[in-house]
């Protein structure tokens, strides 16, 4: 007989790693195609020399650099083993079993997992017809048990973003004792006009119940090293340290993140090329007759419904890997131009068009 495991974990599907094989074009995980800059590789190599030593548990140097860069105090910043780990920590500091975590659906796949692991209850609100957060409906779904609201902006996997005014109005309608988590993993790819662009750090300055999550995994190209951060009220940040798995942000991750911040301008410049490709891919798909959500991220969303898995399977037969969400849609990460071309060539073949466009 095996040891007794919590029965409620049955409702959490086991993690299935994305398919990958040598030679495949991987457009499935929203990664950056370019490797680390030389200055970042050098910092990584130097950090490895001290691998026998524990990292700084508080990531103090990184936190200080982030605070400087964002114009906040170090007390407002916490680092985590990817921002997904901070999602888990945020649920841990706000929820006991029976409390509710509220979010739009479909959104980031980690939200249901971290909610259920904490024994909390998920409450989901459908995206609107344009695959955008329905903020009024989310506000209307708040109950006395709501402890945390995730707003993924831009939203993974649909790529849609809400603007500053809409988000401000929403935040002003949420009771101050409910924590609102603005997950901005794709912020660097947003190109809506500056005056209507939502910047969670700015919105959070006057709202102590707002926490912003950002990551080095996407635009900064460090997905393999696991480092993200939270910006928020000092009391929230202090609470995070209580549930933090000790030393979970490695020495190498901290050093790479610090070096990446120093190269911020160069790394952010790279996002322009991704955005140009995103617009090219989306336009080509629309011209071919596909439905494609607007995107402010490094991927596009095809709301294919029941045809999502067959579409991904067809592409995989030709070694192009995209991410289907069964019954819902397909997320296609923007890769290098030749990778995007390979995807578009397959997606616009007559058999694919006949089955999946429109
Ligand atoms: C990729 C992603 C993250 C970041 O994950 P890390 O753990 O930092 O790699 C967070 N939120 C969303 C919505 C994401 O898509």
- Does any ligand 1 atom lie closer than 6 A to the CB of residue 183? yes
Model confidence band, residue 315 (pLDDT cutoffs 50, 70, 90): very high
For residue 19, pLDDT over 90 is answered with no
- Reported residue count of the chain is 358
For residue 186, pLDDT over 80 is answered with yes
Query: What integer is the mean pLDDT of 121-144?
Result: 98
Query: What integer is the mean pLDDT of 147-164?
Result: 98
CB atoms within 10 A of CB 74: 17
> Among 88, 105, 107, 156, which residue has the most ligand 1 atoms within 8 Å of its CB, making it the best to mutate?
156
- Does any ligand 1 atom lie closer than 6 A to the CB of residue 135? no
Question: Strands 329-333 and 323-325: what pairing?
Answer: antiparallel
- C-alpha to C-alpha distance for 168 and 298, rounded to whole angstroms: 25
Which residues, at least 6 apart from 1, have a Cβ–Cβ distance to it below 8 Å? none
- Does any ligand 1 atom lie closer than 6 A to the CB of residue 220? no
For residue 274, pLDDT over 90 is answered with yes
- pLDDT score at 326: 95
> Among 110, 158, 222, 299, which residue has the most ligand 1 atoms within 8 Å of its CB, making it the best to mutate?
110
Which residues, at least 6 apart from 72, have a Cβ–Cβ distance to it below 8 Å? 201, 205, 231
In this structure, the residue with its CA closest to atom 6 of ligand 1 is: 82
38-262: CATH topology: 3.40.640
Task: Assign 3-class secondary structure to 317-358.
Answer: CCCEECEEECCCEEEEECCCHHHHHHHHHHHCCHHHHHHHCC
- Does any ligand 1 atom lie closer than 6 A to the CB of residue 108? yes
- pLDDT score at 266: 95
Q: What is the pLDDT of residues 205-225, one digit of tens each?
A: 999 999 999 999 999 999 999
Q: What is the pLDDT of residues 51-105, one digit of tens each?
A: 999 999 999 999 999 999 999 999 999 999 999 999 999 999 999 999 999 999 9
Q: Where are the domains of the chain?
A: 16-33+264-347, 38-262
Query: What integer is the mean pLDDT of 225-233?
Result: 98
- pLDDT score at 95: 98
Share of the chain above pLDDT 70, in %: 100
For residue 109, the CA-to-ligand 1 centroid distance in Å is 10
- C-alpha to C-alpha distance for 358 and 354, rounded to whole angstroms: 9
16-33+264-347: CATH topology: 3.90.1150
Query: What integer is the mean pLDDT of 194-205?
Result: 96
Model confidence band, residue 358 (pLDDT cutoffs 50, 70, 90): confident
Could you report how far apart the first and last alpha carbons of the chain are, in Å?
A: 53
For residue 291, the CA-to-ligand 1 centroid distance in Å is 25
Q: What is the pLDDT of residues 293-304, one digit of tens each?
A: 999 999 999 999
Burial profile 31-68: b = 16 or more Cβ within 10 angstroms, e = fewer: bbbeebbeebeebbeebeeeeeeebeeebeebbebbbe
> Among 183, 190, 334, which residue has the most ligand 1 atoms within 8 Å of its CB, making it the best to mutate?
183
Residue showing tokens 């924590």 = 179
Among 4, 11, 243, which residue's Cα sits nearest to residue 117?
11
For residue 231, the CA-to-ligand 1 centroid distance in Å is 15
- pLDDT score at 335: 98
Query: What integer is the mean pLDDT of 130-156?
Result: 98
Mean pLDDT computed over every residue of the chain: 97
Which residues, at least 6 apart from 221, have a Cβ–Cβ distance to it below 8 Å? 31, 32, 34, 35, 36, 260, 267, 270
| DSSP-derived 3-state class of residue 270 | helix
For residue 189, pLDDT over 90 is answered with yes
């Amino acid at each position: 007989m095996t040891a007794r495991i919590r029965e409620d974990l049955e409702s959490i599907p086991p993690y299935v790693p994305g398919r990958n094989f040598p030679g495949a074009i991987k457009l499935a995980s929203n990664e950056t195609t370019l490797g680390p800059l030389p200055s970042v590789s050098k910092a990584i190599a130097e950090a490895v020399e001290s691998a026998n030593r524990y990292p700084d548990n508080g990531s103090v140097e990184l936190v200080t650099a982030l605070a400087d860069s964002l114009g906040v105090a170090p007390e407002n910043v916490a680092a985590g083993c990817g921002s997904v780990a901070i999602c888990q920590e945020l649920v841990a500091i706000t929820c006991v079993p029976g409390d509710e975590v509220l979010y739009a659906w479909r959104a980031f796949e980690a939200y249901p997992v971290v909610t259920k692991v904490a024994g909390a209850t998920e409450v989901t609100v459908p995206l609107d017809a344009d695959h955008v957060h329905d903020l009024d409906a989310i506000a209307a779904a708040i109950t006395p048990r709501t402890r945390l609201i995730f707003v993924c902006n831009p939203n993974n996997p649909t790529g849609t973003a809400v603007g500053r005014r809409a988000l401000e109005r929403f935040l002003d309608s949420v009771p101050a004792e409910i924590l609102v988590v603005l997950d901005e993993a794709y912020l660097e790819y947003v190109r809506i006009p500056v005056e209507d662009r939502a910047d969670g750090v700015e919105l959070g300055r006057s709202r102590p119940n707002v926490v912003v999550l950002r990551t080095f995994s996407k635009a900064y190209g460090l997905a393999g090293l696991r480092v993200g951060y939270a910006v928020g009220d000092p009391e929230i940040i202090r609470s995070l340290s209580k549930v933090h798995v000790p030393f979970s942000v490695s020495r190498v991750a901290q050093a790479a993140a610090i070096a990446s911040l120093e190269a911020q301008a160069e790394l952010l410049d790279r996002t322009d090329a991704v955005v140009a490709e995103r617009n090219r891919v989306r336009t080509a798909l629309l011209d071919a007759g596909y439905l494609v959500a607007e995107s402010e991220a490094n991927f596009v969303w095809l709301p294919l419904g029941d045809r999502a898995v067959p579409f991904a399977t067809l592409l995989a037969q030709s070694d192009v890997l995209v991410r289907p969400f069964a019954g819902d849609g397909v997320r296609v990460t923007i890769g290098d131009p030749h990778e995007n071309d390979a995807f578009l060539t397959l997606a616009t073949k007559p058999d694919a068009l006949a089955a999946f466009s429109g």
